[in-house]
Structure 1
Amino acid sequence: MTSPTTFPARHTPADTSATIATSTSVVDHLDPRVWRRVNRLLVRKALSEYAHEHIVEPRLDATRPARRPRHQSYALATPDGHTVYRFEARLMALGHWAIDADSIDCLAGGVDREVDALRFMTDFKQALGLKPEQLPIYLDEICSTLYSSAYKQLNTTHGSRALIHETDFQVIETSMTEGHPAFVANNGRLGFDGADYRAYAPEAASPFQIVWLAVHRDQAAFHCVPDLSYEQLLREELGEETLARHDAQLRDQGLTPADYLVMPAHPWQWANKLSVAFAPYVAQRRIVFLGLSEDRYLAQQSIRTMFNISAPRKRYVKTSLSILNMGFMRGLSPYYMSGTPAINQWIKELLDRDEALRATGFTMLREVASMGFRNHYYEAAIETDTPYKKMFSALWRENPLPLLKEGERLMTMASLLHVDRDGEALLPALIEASGLSAKAWLQRYLRAYLTPLIHCFYTHDLVFMPHGENLILVMQGHVPVRVLMKDIAEEAAIFDTSAQLPENVRRLVMDFPDDLKTLAVFIDIFDGFFRYMNQILVEHEVCSEEDFWGEVAANIRDYQAEHPRHREKYARYDLFAPTFRQSCLNRLQMGNNTQMINLSDPAANLKIVGTLDNPLAPFAPRTVMSASGPQAKGQGPLRSTTPEVAS
């Protein structure tokens, strides 16, 4: 492995890509040895996730004895049989393929061929099912994912052992190396060039300035929570001196400041989209460039969200960013923005009133204000939903730092799946440093993370999108003590269609069939996060699969025992059911890799393929005898302090 390379950071959008793009700095991380390594890692992920979703079907290979305990040898042949991929894997709960990356080899016509992720995609393009017009886009995303993976292999300087002691939240945030654990093409970011990557990718950790624009009130709207106002927000974000300077800039152009709102934009979005696609409004002075921010920001794992490192206690800023990444053009809808603060406020008040949630410490970071600018040309021309209507919006989210108590620190929950470039996982090191047993650590984590989500599901028919990037762990002594939920308005849903809600909150109501509602737990939590967490703990010999899933089951059993009033729902939405339907994310992305889902019809977005065995089923609560006879199914389990496997 070559030594880490340090790249110069571009700090302002005025440093255009012209100079950098003609230099070698945009490719000097593409070392041949590193490139071979990241291709092998991505092929491992593709084999694992595509096999999990039954896109490909590896077969046992009896001709090759496996070298690692509990692993078996497998082979996957191309449709014409010319090329065969061979590897060792351990099949785990939820149909998860834990594959040894170093065991992968490729034979083409009986001759060894280098493991190449792009070649793998073309070898199995028929199985992937991408339309001819979509396949090149997917290959672009795969290539971009490899490009960023190579950069991270060379430039991530903080290993897992260092990160467990790190107190700077942003160091942890920018040290993550994987991205979404399920999607194979998860770092596409199509639209960025090599210079943009170093300026705006989270792992590049390059501070940059955002753009401030004045937008005419005829086409722009501002919304906020009740305890905030436009004037207060701008004073706190920009200060009186900057606001006075902006007013003077408008007056110097013969414009009336009161006719305008001041709105942030991502520097890439301004240079590449707004200055061109919104050129008529710039020419008409409906959009006026005011300058760059004095504060500097860092991109978060959610790449269009920015953290203010000049004033670390100020709010997050999130803006439209029209790059194609993981099935979406990453815009923000001005129509959705109009209801975002009200939705956040309603959910926050709901959570705050709930005594059980307060006991877990669970809370959310409100999206307290939003702005959206409407492009009338595109609206008149295009009636359907389109990324062209989502190019110019922004929101402000609460900062987690003011919520910390003495001795607490922050860590993205994505870090629990982090494996550094030397193959060391952060989670086992974190458990070891805590001084707790694996079971005790997991119990505290599950109490902070899973308990409130289960409570929201059963008590309020409310679900979130609780993957690693959407939650921030509050840590004390290397142990999670509570979690902070974020990214609320576009990714929360209420399943109770009869709920009496304010009109501006009604869009949260989703009419899902009963048999799909539990997928909010089974797929989003078990399959989407615990599946990978389980592998890390087992492979690092921290605990067994039975121990891990036993603790998950015990957490849910204990919750149900503590809240017997929902026993009918526990039976109706049984989290101990033998199987559940499998919803496949890569199939979803490859079905339409430019607009993966329709937010207005989430049930139609599910790609269901078969079922998965539920790892909680062996730990289901057993019927017990009481003075009044046997406890009926669905009447709520007795509290148990240890996992008890049903006979």
Structure 2
Amino acid sequence: MTATLSDPVTTSATTGIGAGHARQDVEHLTPERWAIANRHVLRKALSEFAHERLIVPIPEGNNSYLLASDDGAIEYRFTARRLQLDHWAIDGASIHRTRRGTVPSQGLALDVLDFITEFRGTLGVREDMLPLYLEEISSTLASHAYKQLADRPCSAELAKGVSAGVNPAADFQMIEMAMTEGHPCFVANNGRMGFGITDYRGFAPEAGAPVRLQWLAVHHSKAVFSASAGLEYRAHFEAELGAAALANFDSELTALSVDPADYLLMPVHPWQWENKLAVTFAAEIALRHLIPLSRGSEDYQAQQSIRTFFNTSTPERCYVKTALSVLNMGFMRGLSPAYMKATPAINDWLFTLIGADQTLMHHGLTMIREKAALGYHNAYFEAASIKGSPYRQMLSALWRESPLPLLGPGQQLATMASLLHVDGAGVPLASELIRRSGLGATQWLRRYLHAYLVPVVHCLFRYELAFMPHGENVILVLEHGVPVRAIMKDIGEEIALMGDDVEVPDEVSRIKVAIPEGERVLAVFTDVFDCIFRFLAATLVEDGALSEDEFWGTVAAVVHGYQSDHPELAEAFARHDLFADEFDLSCLNRLQLRNNKNMLDLGDPSGGLQMAGKLANPLAAFR
């Protein structure tokens, strides 16, 4: 009998692995899906590498372009619209690859792995980095093939809420799982180096699989717990786990003849336990500095950031963010115990600042605090490694508030990344939200900008404070499809106080970062205009919702309105001119291509930036 994927799994006596199981693992990898994935990722590679001026397509007339490989042997032709901010809106169906000198009918299959190798010199990938970058590209392609296989809700279903508003937590997590693109700028954005196929299906955000966290007891002499003012260790864990679960963990420790009072409880990613801690931290386990306990009893769902989990069993409880020694988009995704110590204090400081600012409160800005953190110090690796080493970031955790308690009646939550989402039929979620709202596209856009952009620019002008406000770091509160407020998250590691005018307590001083004054406005130009609005504008323009002038004119009008309301900040408006003719083009793919293991020193975010000339500012026309 010929085996099929639906056959019962039988066990191999020699390997212990189910026969036929391997085919089920890779059922998403078919020639048809692989071809679709390659066309999708190649379209993005051509667009983003051209935007960053790594490649220079040659115009051939009628919006057609030619690009030749480094050796001139392979040629790519495609059609594209050049939009504001030098965005290349490429027609994916038009991409054609041929060997030079052959007729067009003899086209070659599109293959992104080949493309990267064909342009390795142009892209500037070091020889020792190229295989790892290809591995990240391969993983990104495989992820896209998997997303084609899964049965996912369309944009219209996501816009109205899969549960029709009955269960906002379920609707929120369905949107989180349905995101298919990852970071809009990075070409290799689903690398996740370290995950095997079973790990992918168990822990990738798009898989949406329920996860139960592994728990450890960590000796208090090796670990530091910190929390928001007034929050004690025991009270925090009673709220997050419940008295019964705490008692069970205490019983496990007592049965091992150790005193539970000598240990702190720490959740860890199951992958981290299996692949890192159980081996790399063997000495700590043998010496009973670490004691493995049971898996937790509540289900969590991995978020887009991979190492953060949302509690689906009790959605009002905190997210849990864990250390994960997986390489993704230029960084090992660990968590530093040194950073954990100050994280709750930083969150308390920012929460107080937001609550005392009338403009931020008027526009509804809020945040979900990282209210507790626990970091483990491994003396062996701290003595043997430099500051910032991944070996110092293998065992920490933090707890971030849930956004569910912030919702009013009839409101929904959506990751801001969803505004760039396009479903399998080519329908943008943003367009469906506009249709659901009943507003015109420019009215809807204005409401969104008041909820998101105004708070971001106000923090720059008033405090010289910058968030990392990309789509995954912001949650939108929606009413009938309309964004009414923005919720900032991932605060402790990703905010920067760039000036000297605001005093902060010593325990918060880590957020003060030396950024040259001329670069501070890039917190809006790069992080908002180039990395979010460039894509949102293209999505809405290509879908026919509005024109480029309508999009950028609305952005300009909202900024003008804000500035008119705050004449006292006129000096800051001039110093950080959002209507300047042009601004520096800061390139993310160039960073990853230069060093895909550690693309930027987060302690000196300005020093390692990769610039490639200037971009014309779309707001300059509306000065």
- Coarse TM-score class (shorter-chain normalised): over 0.9
Partner of 2:216: 213
Partner of 2:37: 38
1:383 Cα deviation after fit: 2.8
**Could you tell me how far apart the structure 2 residues matched to 1:17 and 1:534 are?**
53
Verify the 8 A CA contact 1:21 1:194 in the aligned structure 2: no
**Could you tell me how far apart the structure 1 residues matched to 2:526 and 2:584 are?**
9
Cα deviation code 1:523-558 (max 9, x no counterpart): 000000000000011001100000000000011100
Verify the 8 A CA contact 1:156 1:175 in the aligned structure 2: no
**Could you tell me how far apart the structure 2 residues matched to 1:396 and 1:21 are?**
40
**Could you tell me how far apart the structure 2 residues matched to 1:30 and 1:498 are?**
55
Matched, 1:602 2:597: no
Partner of 2:112: 117
1:227 Cα deviation after fit: 3.4
Change in Cα spacing, 1:20 to 1:507, as seen in structure 2 (3 Å) is farther
**Could you tell me how far apart the structure 2 residues matched to 1:344 and 1:157 are?**
35
Give the unaligned 5+ runs of structure 2.
Answer: 9-14, 166-170
Verify the 8 A CA contact 1:17 1:196 in the aligned structure 2: no
Matched, 1:477 2:499: no
1:501 Cα deviation after fit: 1.2
**Identity rate, percent:** 50
Report the 3-state secondary structure (helix = DSSP H, G, I; strand = E; otherwise coil) of the residue aligned with 1:307: strand
Change in Cα spacing, 1:284 to 1:587, as seen in structure 2 (3 Å) is same
Partner of 2:77: 86
Instruction: Please give the TM-score of this superposition, normalised by the length of structure 2.
Output: 0.95
Partner of 2:22: 23
Partner of 1:57: 56
Verify the 8 A CA contact 2:79 2:95 in the aligned structure 1: yes
Verify the 8 A CA contact 1:497 1:511 in the aligned structure 2: no
Partner of 1:164: 159
Report the 3-state secondary structure (helix = DSSP H, G, I; strand = E; otherwise coil) of the residue aligned with 1:567: helix
Partner of 2:138: 143
Q: Give the residue type in structure 1 aligned to 2:251.
A: A
Q: Give the residue type in structure 2 aligned to 1:95.
A: D
Partner of 1:632: none
**Could you tell me how far apart the structure 2 residues matched to 1:601 and 1:17 are?**
49
Cα deviation code 1:323-366 (max 9, x no counterpart): 11000110000000110000000000000001111111101110
Report the 3-state secondary structure (helix = DSSP H, G, I; strand = E; otherwise coil) of the residue aligned with 2:606: helix
Change in Cα spacing, 1:156 to 1:592, as seen in structure 2 (3 Å) is farther
1:79 Cα deviation after fit: 2.1
Residue in structure 2 matching 1:131, options 116, 123, 126: 126
Change in Cα spacing, 1:418 to 1:341, as seen in structure 2 (3 Å) is same
Partner of 2:292: 289
1:498 Cα deviation after fit: 4.7
Q: After the TM superposition, which of the residue ranges 243-252 and 315-324 deviates more from structure 2?
A: 243-252
**Could you tell me how far apart the structure 1 residues matched to 2:138 and 2:587 are?**
22
Q: Give the residue type in structure 1 aligned to 2:565.
A: E
Verify the 8 A CA contact 1:94 1:613 in the aligned structure 2: yes
**Could you tell me how far apart the structure 1 residues matched to 2:120 and 2:152 are?**
36
Partner of 1:340: 343
Give the unaligned 5+ runs of structure 1.
Answer: 9-15, 67-71, 621-647
Partner of 2:515: 512
Matched, 1:238 2:241: yes
Report the 3-state secondary structure (helix = DSSP H, G, I; strand = E; otherwise coil) of the residue aligned with 2:127: coil
Matched, 1:404 2:407: yes
1:321 Cα deviation after fit: 0.7
Partner of 1:152: 147
**Could you tell me how far apart the structure 1 residues matched to 2:91 and 2:495 are?**
36
**Could you tell me how far apart the structure 1 residues matched to 2:256 and 2:603 are?**
42
Report the 3-state secondary structure (helix = DSSP H, G, I; strand = E; otherwise coil) of the residue aligned with 1:244: helix
Report the 3-state secondary structure (helix = DSSP H, G, I; strand = E; otherwise coil) of the residue aligned with 1:571: helix
Deviating runs (4+, > 3 A) in structure 1? 16-22
Partner of 2:95: 104
1:398 Cα deviation after fit: 0.4
Verify the 8 A CA contact 2:463 2:502 in the aligned structure 1: no
Verify the 8 A CA contact 2:463 2:501 in the aligned structure 1: no
Change in Cα spacing, 1:461 to 1:20, as seen in structure 2 (3 Å) is farther
1:247 Cα deviation after fit: 1.3
Change in Cα spacing, 1:20 to 1:165, as seen in structure 2 (3 Å) is farther
**Could you tell me how far apart the structure 2 residues matched to 1:379 and 1:120 are?**
41
Q: How many residues in Structure 1 have an aligned counterpart in Structure 2?
A: 601
Change in Cα spacing, 1:408 to 1:120, as seen in structure 2 (3 Å) is same
1:152 Cα deviation after fit: 0.5
Verify the 8 A CA contact 2:336 2:393 in the aligned structure 1: yes
1:20 Cα deviation after fit: 9.0
Verify the 8 A CA contact 2:220 2:262 in the aligned structure 1: yes
Report the 3-state secondary structure (helix = DSSP H, G, I; strand = E; otherwise coil) of the residue aligned with 2:160: coil
Report the 3-state secondary structure (helix = DSSP H, G, I; strand = E; otherwise coil) of the residue aligned with 1:604: coil
**Could you tell me how far apart the structure 1 residues matched to 2:328 and 2:20 are?**
22
Instruction: Please give the TM-score of this superposition, normalised by the length of structure 1.
Output: 0.91
RMSD: 1.6
**Could you tell me how far apart the structure 1 residues matched to 2:522 and 2:424 are?**
33
**Could you tell me how far apart the structure 2 residues matched to 1:213 and 1:156 are?**
36
**Could you tell me how far apart the structure 1 residues matched to 2:19 and 2:604 are?**
43
Change in Cα spacing, 1:98 to 1:384, as seen in structure 2 (3 Å) is same
1:384 Cα deviation after fit: 3.7
Partner of 1:312: 315
Report the 3-state secondary structure (helix = DSSP H, G, I; strand = E; otherwise coil) of the residue aligned with 2:217: strand
